[in-house]
Amino acid sequence: MALIVQKFGGTSVGTVERIEQVAEKVKKFREAGDDIVVVVSAMSGETNRLIGLAKQIMEQPVPRELDVMVSTGEQVTIALLSMALIKRGVPAVSYTGNQVRILTDSAHTKARILSIDDANIRADLKAGRVVVVAGFQGVDEQGNITTLGRGGSDTTGVALAAALKADECQIYTDVDGVYTTDPRVVPQARRLNKITFEEMLEMASLGSKVLQIRSVEFAGKYNVPLRVLHSFQEGPGTLITLDEEESMEQPIISGIAFNRDEAKLTIRGVPDTPGVAFKILGPISAANIEVDMIVQNVSHDNTTDFTFTVHRNDYLNALEILKQTAANIGAREATGDTNIAKVSIVGVGMRSHAGVASRMFEALAKETINIQMISTSEIKVSVVIEEKYLELAVRALHTAFELDAPARQGE
């Protein structure tokens, strides 16, 4: 008998009919003898609807009151799913984050989990009940309702699995696992049977939308085996684990991630003096803008060019700050470009294989795709290219690193 935490997202519980389907799936696991804790999101569209209501009152809603409001979405889902299970003869009980006592800090709309009191859940499991918990929410020391930010239900599921020392945390979504890349871009993309936390973390941070970064970080920290599964299709999904099995068939590259949401900023003719990088990036950081890749060119005539990337949503604000910085430090000009994209290859196999980066660059060169920036780590290589070449680059790299699924007979 296993203890399994299952998380179902908004589309999986988007209608009463789908909630009934989820109840059927949970019932099968319960009948197999497993102890089940289910974490659910609000029904799809419900959180946006609630935020929309709040914005009709205030353009910038008070964070504390917004949390009180949006947390009701999950409360509806846990009650409906518990009813659907009870209707099927499966004893079930629902809990809000406050009732479990998922203790968080007080950062409203983006709180972080500090601890979980699992006593009630364990007692219910021992009594044979399925426990249904509201994702995305908790409570601070003062008793205020808090929410965990985007992807918070994934984080709730993983945190509960860690607290309960569950055998597995299953994340049910609208895809049947983690793929070598987005199948909409590369139809030959393959579902991975297994991937490491490290690889998944890189892929999530580099643009793969299957799992939220915080949940993968949490799972890796507490070694919670994660499995990504399709909500309504049978299949083994993808297991995310610490295990780095060395085998003859271990691929060098596990996947290719990409991100269209990047923008590039360049400040030219910067006086090449100590501390200049801080003078450029300090004001950007002070505006709470995250910088991704950075390149500083070799100095000529005691001046240098400095280029970095930010999220496209931050582009206009960052460019305005950079123009002001250019004026302040006597740089020649500040310019920007939003027509870029980032493509990355990821794989723990890189550690033991030389020449991976050059193989990547060769594949892009064959397609006459110019590389504007390069960033590397132990298990990834990222490049910035023109956005119009993104899909061509992903397909070329997928083939170059032998990730394409074999063609079926007759194709």
How many Å apart are CA 187 and CA 7, to the nearest integer? 28
Q: Which two tokens stand for residue 378?
A: 């132990």
35 annotated binding-site participant = no
- CB-CB contact of 55 with 24 (8 Å): no
9 annotated binding-site participant = yes
174 annotated binding-site participant = yes
H or E stretch at 252:
none
Give the ranges where 165-275 is alpha helix by DSSP (H): 197-205, 213-222
**Edge-to-edge, what's the strand order for the sheet holding 255-259?**
255-259, 340-346, 380-386, 373-377
209 annotated binding-site participant = yes
136 annotated binding-site participant = no
8 annotated binding-site participant = yes
Name the burial class of residue 141, with classes exposed (0-12), middle (13-18) and buried (19+) by CB atoms within 10 angstroms of its CB.
Answer: exposed
- CB-CB contact of 146 with 104 (8 Å): yes
- CB-CB contact of 258 with 341 (8 Å): yes
301 annotated binding-site participant = no
384 annotated binding-site participant = no
Identify the CA nearest to 310 among candidates 346, 285, 282: 285
Identify the CA nearest to 240 among candidates 308, 157, 354: 157
What region, left, alpha or beta, does residue 313 occupy, with left being phi > 0 and alpha being psi -120 to 50 degrees? alpha
7 annotated binding-site participant = yes
Strand 137-139 with 168-173, pairing:
unpaired
How many Å apart are CA 227 and CA 354, to the nearest integer? 31
CB neighbours of residue 175 within 10 Å? 18
Angle in degrees, CA 368, 372, 374, rounded to 5? 110
At what angle are helices 315-329 and 276-286 packed, to 10 degrees?
Answer: 140
184 annotated binding-site participant = yes
**Per the annotation, where are the binding residues for ATP?**
7-10, 173-174, 179, 184, 209-210
Sequence ranges of the binding site for substrate: 47, 74
- Binding-site residue numbers are 7-10, 47, 74, 173-174, 179, 184, 209-210
